[in-house]
Amino acid sequence: MSDNVAADQLRLFIERIERLEEEKKGTSDDIKDVYLEAKANGYDTKTMRAIVRLRRLEKNARDEADALMETYRTALGLD
């Protein structure tokens, strides 16, 4: 009996994951559409993606990344 219950529980987990994967794909498609719309309006999507990544970071991590980038740019004469 417990094998049957375990199999049912496993099936439910798999089905939930499959539904979430499908939702994730839909969300990814929506994000892609927004970037395409922004590009059509003249925005640089590469820069927009970088900004989105930066905004995900907490302020202290973002400040640290900015400081390190500035250090590297200066060392390479890119300022």
Per residue of the chain (79 residues), give pLDDT as tens: 567 889 999 999 999 999 999 999 999 999 999 999 999 999 999 999 999 999 999 999 999 999 999 999 999 999 8
Measured CA to CA, the distance from residue 45 to residue 16 in angstroms comes to 33
CB 48 within 8 A of CB 38: yes
Measured CA to CA, the distance from residue 74 to residue 78 in angstroms comes to 6
Measured CA to CA, the distance from residue 73 to residue 67 in angstroms comes to 10
- Please give the pLDDT value at position 5: 83
Measured CA to CA, the distance from residue 28 to residue 48 in angstroms comes to 16
- Please give the pLDDT value at position 16: 98
| Tokens of residue 40, six digits | 């059509």
- Please give the pLDDT value at position 77: 95
Give the long-range contacts of residues 45-49, CB within 8 A, separation 24 or more. none
- Please give the pLDDT value at position 1: 55
